[in-house]
Chain A
Amino acid sequence: MTNPMTKHLEALLRDMDGAPAFYVWVSVLVALVGLGGYALLMSVIHSLEVFEFTLKIPWAMMVSNYVFLIGSSTGLCMVASMGYVFGLERYTMIGKRAVFLAVFAILFGMASIMLHLGHPERAAVFTILTPNIRSAMWWMGGIYGAYIASLVVWCWLLLRRDLVANADDPGLKGTICRWLSLQEAMSTLGRRFPKSQGIIGKLSGMLDSETERSKWIRIFATLSLVSGLCAYVVEGSLFAHIEARAFWYGPLTPIYFLLGAALCGISWVLVTGIITYRVRGEDLPADLKDLFCEMAEILALLLSVAFLAIVYKMGHGLFVPNKAATVWLFLTGPFSLAFWMLEIAMGLVLPIFVLLFASRKQMMPGIMIGAVMVLAGYFMKRYDYVVASQIYPVIKNHLPSYLPTFIEVLLIGGLLGAFLLIYTLGDRFLPLKEKGYYDVS
Chain B
Amino acid sequence: MNHPVKRMDRRRFLKIAASAPALAALDSIGIADADPIRYGKMVDTVRCIGCKRCMSACKRWNGLKVERDELVTDRNTSLSGNNWVVVNYLIDRRNRTHKNYGHWACQHCIEPACAGVCPVRAITKMPEGPVVVNEKKCIGCRYCYQACPYKIPQFDFVKRVTRKCTMCYDRTPLLNYMKPACVAACPVGALHFGYKQDVIREARRRTRDRGGRFYIMGLEEAGGTDMITILPTVPEDLGLVVAPRKVVNQNMDKIRITGAGFMGASALAGLMYLYAGLTRGRNRKGHDEPDDQTS
Contacts and interface: CB of A to CB of B under 8 A. Distances in A.
Given A126-B122, A254-B257, A396-B88, A47 B151 contact: no
A86 B120 contact: no
Interface in A414-432: 431
B116 A233 contact: no
Contact of B240 (A56, A236, A395): A395
Contacts of A78: 268, 272
A251 B260 contact: yes
Q: Which of A81, A244, A252, A286 has most chain B Cβ within 10 Å?
A: A244
A196 interface: no
A216 interface: no
Interface in B129-149: 137-143, 145-149
B141 A137 contact: yes
Chain A contact-residue range equals: 35 or more
Nearest to A116: B141
B73 interface: no
B293 A88 contact: no
Given A48-B160, A118-B138, A244-B248, A137 B257 contact: no
Given A118-B161, A137-B143, A396-B76, A251 B257 contact: yes
A439 B290 contact: yes
A394 B122 CA distance: 25
B181 interface: no
A118 B160 contact: yes
A145 interface: no
B248 A240 contact: no
Q: Which of B138, B155, B158, B287 has most chain A Cβ within 10 Å?
A: B287
Interface residues of B, number: 76
Contacts of A119: 138-140, 160-161
Nearest to B247: A243
Contacts of A132: 116-121
A241 interface: yes
Nearest to B78: A55
A396 B146 CA distance: 18
Given A78-B272, A396-B88, A244 B258 contact: no
Contact of B276 (A82, A138, A251): A82
A130 B123 CA distance: 11
B280 interface: yes
B29 to A, nearest CB: 27
B198 to A, nearest CB: 29
Contacts of A238: 143
Given A118-B141, A233-B258, A437-B287, A126 B120 contact: yes
A136 B286 contact: no
A225 B140 CA distance: 30
B140 A253 contact: no
B269 interface: yes
B253 interface: yes
B257 A240 contact: yes
Contacts of B116: 132, 134-135
Contacts of A225: 269
A237 B76 contact: no
B257 A250 contact: yes
A172 to B, nearest CB: 16
Contact of B142 (A58, A229, A250): A58
Contact of B145 (A58, A141, A252, A437): A58
A123 B269 contact: no
B80 interface: yes
Contacts of A162: 294
Given A55-B155, A123-B120, A244-B146, A237 B285 contact: no
B239 interface: yes
A199 B276 CA distance: 37
A151 to B, nearest CB: 17
Contacts of A82: 272, 275-276
A243 B160 contact: no
Given A122-B120, A396-B239, A436 B261 contact: no
A130 B137 CA distance: 9
A166 B276 contact: no
A245 B248 CA distance: 11
B253 A230 contact: no
Given A117-B139, A395-B151, A390 B146 contact: yes
B240 to A, nearest CB: 7
Interface in A109-142: 116-120, 122-123, 126-127, 129-132, 134-138, 141
B104 A395 contact: yes
A160 B203 CA distance: 72
A127 to B, nearest CB: 6
Interface in A295-337: none
23 contacts: A47-B157, A55-B79, A78-B272, A86-B276, A90-B283, A118-B138, A135-B117, A137-B119, A137-B143, A141-B119, A225-B269, A233-B262, A240-B261, A244-B149, A251-B260, A286-B286, A394-B241, A395-B151, A395-B241, A396-B76, A396-B88, A431-B295, A436-B287
- 3 tightest Cβ-Cβ pairs between the two chains A and B: A118-B140, A254-B261, A118-B160
